[in-house]
Amino acid sequence: YAGSHEALNVTGIYRTQWVGLEGSPNTANIYAHTPIGKALGVGFSFVNDKIGPISYSSPNLSLSYAIKIKKSLKLAFGASAKLNHYQGDLTILQATDGGDSFLATAPQSTNELNFGFGTYLYSDKYYFGFSVPDLLTDKIDNLYPGSTNEILQKHFYFIAGTIFDIADGLKLKPSVSYKFTKNAPSSLDLSAQFLLK
């Protein structure tokens, strides 16, 4: 997807949930991508996620190469590398049973390098995509010893969309996104946008 807009694109998102509750989740995300020449694209993103005593941050660098199939149809292949930084200060938690050695001895942070891959077929009228942002499974049991649940699983994403001309200066853009991962329910999102002028 990096470079597919054929111009520099910068986006920032901030999301907070359960406002007013101590340790409530919040996420900050900034990403940018731009083409380099006719076939290459480069992108950068940074995500910071925090919930309770645990925080996660990830700088990510992406590169893409697009092949022109027809005049307005391109097929792009992308790869990414990122550093997943996990940090948890479990000592601030109050245990139901006092003297819990797990909370006192858990390490503060860990870093995991990961890689991603994706492909993106797009034109002025439609697009299809598939990606696996984390090809490796992050095992962060060194941060939470003995825990078998603290593992980042591979997620598989499929996207598709198209654009319909409804009237002069008005277009409809429906899209679909499907996410699948092991040991969790799959997710299907349907959406539509109206594009004015």
Instruction: Tell me the pLDDT tens digit for each residue of 68-84.
Output: 999 889 999 999 999 98
pLDDT of residue 195: 93
| CA dihedral for 185, 186, 187, 188, sign (positive or negative) | negative
Are the C-beta atoms of residues 159 and 137 closer than 8 Å to each other? no
Instruction: Tell me the pLDDT tens digit for each residue of 60-71.
Output: 999 999 999 998
Residue 58 φ/ψ, nearest 5 degrees: -155, 105
Q: Write out the E strands in 69-145.
A: 74-88, 109-122, 126-132, 138-139
Task: Output the CA angle 171-174-180, nearest 5 degrees.
Answer: 160
Report the predicted TM-score, pTM, of the whole model to 2 decimal places.
0.78
H helix or E strand, kind and range, residue 67: strand 54-68
pLDDT above 60 (res 126): yes
Instruction: Tell me the pLDDT tens digit for each residue of 148-168.
Output: 555 668 899 999 999 999 999
Q: Which amino acid is at 146?
A: G
H helix or E strand, kind and range, residue 188: strand 187-196
CB-count burial class (<10 Å; 0-12, 13-18, 19+) for 85: middle
What distance, in Å, lies between the first and last C-alpha atoms of the chain? Answer: 24
Structure tokens at 32: 């940018």
Name the percent of the chain lying above pLDDT 90. Answer: 61
